[in-house]
Structure 1
Amino acid sequence: MGEEGIGRGVTKKVNPGKATILSLGKAFPHQLVMQEYLVDGYFRDTNCDNPELKQKLARLCKTTTVKTRYVVMSEEILKKYPELAVEGAATVKQRLEICNKAVTQMAIEASQVCIKNWGRSLSDITHVVYVSSSEARLPGGDLYLSKGLGLNPIIQRTMLYFAGCSGGVAGLRVAKDIAENNPGSRVLLATSETTIIGFKPPSADRPYDLVGVALFGDGAGAMIIGSDPVSETETPLFELHTAAQEFLPDTEKKIDGRLTEEGISFKLARELPQIIEDNVEGFCDKLIDVVGLQNKDYNKLFWAVHPGGPAILNRMEKRLDLLPEKLNASRRALMDYGNASSNTIVYVLEYMIEEGLKIRKEGGGDPEWGLILAFGPGITFEGILARNMCA
């Protein structure tokens, strides 16, 4: 499986006691899927020749804006488990055999990259927060990740299961709380996801499945979070000032996911982008009021938004009257990796740092304050008011 990380940048003084992101890392399976070849490959692998469904998927693949993705699924897996492509087959056992192993491996690789970029010893990690909606087992992936990395058995672990697309920011909120309430602690946050848990053949009875095929990808992400960075050895990337979570009443069925004998089955309501558009401004205002932003000038902020899909990004951009470049990092992450669920916020933050370095090199300045946002089942809004320490 492939792996990548990000280096250090120029930083400023942090507020004592506030949690900071100290390092980022990511990892992917080796299978790279080009969007232009996805339709033929998917219908070949699932032995389906329905021309109407094929045309629909082709249209969806263009509208998602995704260009490339990484996936665990491969010809070898389908040869070993041909029942995964059979309609109605009870395959949750087989799926979990693949997923549990795959997400652990990717989480380990992403964490190793992150720790290397951090620059401190593995033994300095005091807590682990692990996020995944792609596995189910006891003990959970938090233990297998800790064991795979060789962490001390006294490490304190927290597991977040089935938080969906909001899982990465939810994990960041939990890691922030741990870091700020345990002086000297260093928290490893790892996320890992694979779409095999929900892979199914195309069916006219499940139109949303094709949206998932056109949009979602696999991978892992990792961060190190801690307060009061050691100046000689650590470089803070983002200071996590204030975190918030909110669910919208009576929206439980708008993002509906169920673990069945055939794996995970998802349904997304058509009105989901509209619901997010209608509520995002109020949620963001509660966070930015903390720093007293005047006249709701949202373009004075940076925006690290989980790219659930292009419709959500477009609706946010319109509602908040954002300049096109404000969501560049989110759009790039979606284009290069698809919606990789909880992992994607790591990829967005990496692109934000990369773009900030480019702006400063050209003599410009990027915003100091901004929001890290994600939306998931509930409908749940997760948000963190943050400072860009490299700005």
Structure 2
Amino acid sequence: MGTEGIAQGDSTMKANAGKATILALGKAFPHQLVMQDFLVDGYFKDTNCDDPHLKQKLARLCKTTTVKTRYVVMSDEILKKYPELAIEGIPTVKQRLDICNDAVTQMATEASLACIKKWGRPASDITHLVYVSSSEARLPGGDLYLARGLELSPQTKRVLLYFSGCSGGVAGLRVAKDIAENNPGSRVLLATSETTIIGYKPPSAHRPYDLVGVALFGDGAGAMIIGSDPELVSEKPLFELHTAIQEFLPGTEKSIDGRLTEEGISFKLARELPQIIEDNVEGFCGRLMDVIGFDNKEYNKMFWAVHPGGPAILNRLEKRLDLFPEKLNASRRALMDYGNASSNTIVYVLEYMIEESKKIQKNEQGDGEWGLILAFGPGITFEGILARNLTL
């Protein structure tokens, strides 16, 4: 495809007419901050487990994840009220959902309010709501409770995306893009909210996958405002969302296997998951890069906002695409500071991407203006958006 109608290298960095743009970002977290250095002792104490082999294994995993801090909803107060959450084999899905449903609504509301404040326009100007979570289950869904908490108009059009896992944030962004571009004048609030309580369990030699989650995952919420044709007097566009695609890999359905059981959500992650992503990422990215005429030798001309599913995925992507180390700084910082917070994490990556871009002056060739927003989730599903960084 050619580059007709695409404003490349435009020093004014204006969004193209009719293209969706991210207009504001916001985030929120629960009050419990967990330092990775203290996680192992705390987790085994809370679950009354004294298995030295499992403790050593978790300690090793904690060192390899690169996570330094993360936030969690779980607290001493919750465990005192619901001690059965730390006991093997007890049906607790009702208790978990009672906690999660309230927690994700509160975090989503706080993240959305922070986002709306940065946006600078009143919440009444929001016309659509896209809500993403893999941490709750109820009817009506969290989209309605969030809309009510923000006092949005009852005419606000809502979309609910449940159980999309780590790719949910970019999937929600793709949906918000379509809404914004097909409804002139609309302003879409995208909210994501997640908590690991839905899958919190005591350590078990029969579930080695759980220890990976304990070492890696965190809680929190994220929010974005998306709209086309921004009003430059009152709105500041951050990223233009030019082209979005999704693809699933046939035969990989069991590679990320999550099931809601009587004891909450149980996950199994295949060992070959990073390899599968590495083997398929070039072709997927190439389909997006073709839109602006970049070939597969020009990866380092672009920015990379990648959901940090874990350090192995980032390392393999960096190696396969021969990226400069700084290209994944935003993703690595988000992983270090917040862990893998599932669908929320792409919001944190984009915030860090703006910080990183301030350190780099765009050259005459426009390097760093164009980039990819990527995430990988159950399916295995690839979500990707070709975007322009308008903050340079």
**TM-score > 0.5, shorter chain as reference:** yes
Counterpart CA distance in 2 for 1:79 and 1:360 is: 53
Distance 1:387 1:68, change over 3 A: same
The answer on whether the counterparts of 2:21 and 2:241 sit within 8 Å (CA) in structure 1 is yes
Q: Residues of 1 paired with 2:306 and 2:243: CA distance?
A: 16
**Any idea what SS the aligned residue of 2:265 has?**
strand
Name the structure 2 match of 1:129. 130
How far apart are 1:227 and its partner, in Å?
0.1
2:289 maps to 1:288? yes
Calculate the TM-score normalised by the size of structure 2.
0.96
Kindly provide the CA deviation profile for residues 199-230 of structure 1, in whole angstroms up to 9, marking residues without a partner as x: 00000000000000000000000000000000
**CA deviation after TM superposition for structure 1 residue 295, in Å:** 5.0
1:192 and 1:221 in contact (8 A); partners too: yes
Identity of aligned residues (%): 84
Asked if 1 retains the 8 angstrom alpha-carbon contact of 2:310 and 2:335, the reply is yes
CA deviation string 1:300-322 (max 9, x = no partner): 00000000000000000000000
Aligned to 1:66: 67
Q: How does 1:45-124 map to 2 (within 5 A)?
A: 45-124=46-125
Which residue number corresponds to residue 198 of structure 1? 199
Q: Partners of 1:382 and 1:240 in 2: how far apart?
A: 13
In structure 2, what is the Cα distance between the partners aligned to 1:330 and 1:239? 19
Deviation at 1:390, TM superposition (A): 1.1
Q: Assess if the C-alpha contact under 8 Å between 1:46 and 1:201 holds in 2.
A: yes
The within-5 A match list for 1:351-370 is 351-360=352-361, 367-370=368-371
Shift of 1:279: 0.2
| C-alpha distance in 2 between matches for 1:284 and 1:23 | 26
- After superposition, residues 304-323 of structure 1 pair within 5 angstroms as 304-323=305-324
Q: Normalised by the size of structure 1, how large is the TM-score?
A: 0.96
How far, CA to CA, are the matches of 2:112 and 2:162 in structure 1? 18
SS of residue paired to 1:190:
strand
Runs ≥4 in structure 1, deviation > 2 angstroms?
358-361
Kept after mapping to 2: 8 A contact 1:128/1:188:
yes
* Backbone CA RMSD of aligned residues: 1.5
Aligned partners of 1:32 and 1:71 also within 8 Å? yes
Alignment-derived partner of residue 229 in structure 2: 228
Please state how far the C-alpha of 1:360 moved relative to its aligned partner. 4.0
By how many angstroms is 1:357 displaced? 1.5
Separation (CA, whole Å) in 1 of partners of 2:12 and 2:272: 41
For residues 357 and 147 of structure 1, what CA distance do their matches in structure 2 show?
Answer: 37
- 1:294 Cα offset (Å): 3.6
2:215 matched residue in structure 1:
214
Counterparts of 1:138 and 1:302, CA distance in 2:
39
Residue 303 of structure 1 aligns with which residue? 304
- Does residue 372 of the first structure (1) align with residue 370 of the second (2)? no
Aligned to 2:180: 179
* Contact 1:114-1:222 within 8 A present in 2 as well: yes
Unpaired runs of 5+ in structure 1?
1-9
2:15–2:240 contact (8 Å) kept in structure 1 = yes
Give the conservation status (yes or no) of the 8 Å contact 1:24–1:114. yes
1:11 Cα deviation from its structure 2 partner: 6.4
Query: Residues 90, 24 of structure 1: CA spacing in aligned structure 2 closer, same or farther, 3 A cutoff?
Result: same
Q: Write the letter of the residue equivalent to 1:330.
A: S
User: Aligned partners of 2:354 and 2:98: how far apart in 1?
Assistant: 36
1:263 and 2:257 are equivalent in the alignment: no
2: distance between equivalents of 1:34 and 1:379?
31
1:65 & 1:153 partners in 2: Cα distance? 44
Q: Quick check: 1:158 aligned with 2:146?
A: no
Contact 1:127 1:185 in 2 (8 A): yes
Residue-by-residue CA offset, 1:277-308 (whole Å, 9 max, x unaligned): 00000000000000001452100000000000
Supply the AA of the counterpart residue of 1:238. Answer: F
CA contact (8 A) 1:301 1:370 kept: yes
How far, CA to CA, are the matches of 1:76 and 1:150 in structure 2? 30
CA distance in 2, matches of 1:366, 1:311: 27
Q: Secondary structure at the match of 2:359?
A: helix
Structure 1 residue 366: deviation in Å? 5.9
Partners of 1:30 and 1:358 lie apart in 2 by 31
Cα displacement string for residues 342-385 of structure 1 (whole angstroms, at most 9, x for unaligned residues): 00000000000011123349xx9860000000000000000000
Residue equivalent to 1:350 = 351
Q: Aligned in 2, Cα 1:365/1:289: closer, same or farther, shift over 3 Å? A: closer
Q: 1:295 to 1:75 in 2, by over 3 A?
A: closer
Give structure 2 stretches of 5+ with no counterpart.
Answer: 1-10
Match of 1:7 in 2: none
| AA of the residue aligned to 2:168 | G
CA separation in 1, counterparts of 2:171 and 2:366?
Answer: 29
Asked if structure 2 preserves the Cα contact closer than 8 Å seen for 1:356 and 1:366, the reply is no
Name the SS of the counterpart of 1:252 in structure 2. Answer: coil
Q: Distance in 2 between matches of 1:271 and 1:91?
A: 31
